[in-house]
Amino acid sequence: MIMLCVSRHFGRAAVVLAVLALSGCASMTPGDLDRVRPDSDRPYAGNVYLLRGFIGIWSYGIDHLGQRINEAGIRASVYQQDQSQRLCEAIIERYSKATDPEPLVLIGHSYGADDALRIAKQLEEHNIKVDLVITLDPVTPPKVPANIGLCYNIYQPNLLDDLPFFRGIPLEPEKPEVKNLQNVNIRAERRDLLLPDTDHFNIEKNTLIHAEVVSKIKEVCPPREKWVQMRQAARTGTAMRASPSNDPAAAGSAVPPAAAGRPVGSALPTGQMAPPVP
């Protein structure tokens, strides 16, 4: 049975390679690192950075997902898996300088999912919060760091789960007391996301999962008008707490909702929004 399963997966891999050869391997095109910026001009606040799987050939569905996210009014950019370290460095450079960054979302498929978590871990060392990480069939993932607001792991178990490839597995948190992880098994509790013949090579092409991903992103990337209101409320709340004339008990009684999703342990942002990064 296992040998039949392995043969089936390798057969599908051969088909994928043939299709990509005919299409010019468009999914292997590197992403533009100049697009990394802490703000956006789209209808929804925030930026989404997507990582393909191994050398891109298994993950051209990530390109389609990126298009769907952009069509939904959220700024999204797609990168090769081997760009993950440079992407991480660009995020650190530009988000560390931002006074009031918009929501930050990372998405990855297969080994790209693993690297999305590794990026988040490096961002934690620079006190940068990642509002949402969505992983699609992670293969050899590290544990989920505590600086992620929510890690939403969509995966499907199969007979190859003991091998470090062609699989999808549940994730584990670095700190179990930080409730920031949701494992979503589409062969068990979320069969509504399962299409016929779904496997590791096409889970990121699944249109039902695309819709689910866009829905989860909108939970942390609000419409721009709402985002502006949230930031104004945050600045007003900061000013009240800083004023010695205010009642300390009243001033510290509530944290504006905009505080959620900002760097761990940081104060609420003050001042004007950061200018766009070229």
Alpha carbon of residue 3 to chain centroid? 34
Residue 230 lies in a domain: no
Position with higher pLDDT, 7 vs 47: 47
| Strand pairing report for 47-51 and 181-185 | unpaired
* SS3 state of residue 177: coil
Most distant pair of Cα atoms in the chain: their distance: 74
The answer to whether residue 52 sits within a structural domain is yes
Residue, of 262 and 181, whose pLDDT is higher:
181
Assess if residue 85 is contained within a domain: yes
Find the helix or strand (DSSP H, E) in which 86 lies. helix 84-96
Distance CA 25, CA 18 (A): 10
- For residue 24, pLDDT beyond 50: no
Residue 157 has pLDDT above 70, yes or no: yes
Q: Does residue 126 belong to any structural domain of this protein?
A: yes
pLDDT > 70 fraction of the chain, expressed in percent and rounded: 73
What are the residues whose beta carbons fall under 8 Å from the beta carbon of 246, sequence distance 6 or more?
A: 240
Q: What are φ and ψ of residue 183, in 5° steps? A: -85, 130
Q: Is 70 domain-assigned?
A: yes
> Which CATH number is 140's domain given?
3.40.50
By CB neighbour count within 10 A (0-12 exposed, 13-18 middle, 19+ buried), where does 254 fall? exposed
Q: Say what the pLDDT of residue 236 is.
A: 85
- What CA–CA distance (Å, rounded) separates 158 from 178? 28
Q: pTM value? A: 0.77
Instruction: Pull the structure tokens for residue 32.
Output: 């533009």
In a domain, 235, yes or no: no
Asked if pLDDT for residue 259 goes beyond 70, the answer is no
Q: Which has more pLDDT, 210 or 241? A: 210
Question: Residue 144 falls within a domain, yes or no?
Answer: yes
Domain that holds residue 109: 19-224
The angle that helices 60-71 and 207-220 make with each other, rounded to 10 degrees, is 50
What does the pLDDT read at residue 237? 78
User: Does 252 map to a domain?
Assistant: no
Distance CA 10, CA 140 (A): 19
For the chain, how many structural domains are there in total? 1
Which strand ranges, in their side-by-side order, compose the sheet holding 148-155?
A: 75-79, 47-51, 104-109, 130-136, 148-155, 181-185
* Cα 257 to Cα 1, 7, 40, 260, distances in angstroms: 52, 51, 20, 6
pLDDT digits (tens, 9 = 90+) for 193-220: 999 999 999 999 999 999 999 999 999 9
Cα–Cα distance measured from residue 156 to residue 146, given in angstroms and rounded to the nearest whole number: 24
Arithmetic mean of pLDDT, 211-239? 92
pLDDT tens profile 122-147: 999 999 999 999 999 999 999 999 99
Q: Would you say residue 239 has pLDDT above 70? A: no
